[in-house]
Amino acid sequence: MSAEEGRSQGLREAGWLQSVRLEPYRVRVTAKLDTGAKSSAIHAVDVERFERAGVERVRFSLFTDHTEQAGDKLTYDLPIEGKVRIKRAPGKPSEERVTVRLSFCLDGALMDAEVSLDNRANLNYPLLLGRELLREHFLVNSAETFLLPYDCPSAKSRDKASDAEAKGQDAD
């Protein structure tokens, strides 16, 4: 698909690296937009699977400073969305990982993606966004980085806009 065709279909041009703001903590992390990966993944430590009210869940954390694996830990407690089987290098067995639905902000929009939990401590970027998400929203320019802003409206602004939309009014 050409860039012109992508834009005509409502896709936005993004760099192969983009900052995103993880919800609900609103912390900025760098995501690698990888058209060679089918699914998305996030670095997770202290992964603990459990059940609550008959629902399989997972609790995991990630560091605010991925490079140093230091700083504050952000802890998530989310329902397990599913499982993915990840192909590995030739001769190595495939790996099964649990997935969760994770929300983040990019280019003024709140999005969510199904992401697998992985140990990405030895990789440069804590979040990898794969084709399943990219094909719906972005054209990836492999020659550029950080083309899009990562901020989203605050929760208060989003609530105000949602209320106004429900009433058929402008938010401002």
- Position 164 scores a pLDDT of 46
The rounded distance, in Å, linking the Cα atoms of 15 and 147 is: 5
Region class of 135: left (phi > 0), else alpha (psi between -120 and 50), else beta? alpha
- Position 159 scores a pLDDT of 53
Q: Does pTM top 0.85 for this prediction?
A: no
- Position 154 scores a pLDDT of 66
Contact criterion met (CB below 8 Å) for 87 and 96: no
What does each of the 172 residues of the chain score in pLDDT, given as a tens digit? Answer: 666 776 778 899 999 999 999 999 999 999 999 999 999 999 999 999 999 999 999 999 998 888 778 778 999 999 999 999 888 778 888 889 999 999 999 999 999 999 999 999 889 999 999 999 999 999 999 999 999 999 887 655 555 544 545 455 554 4
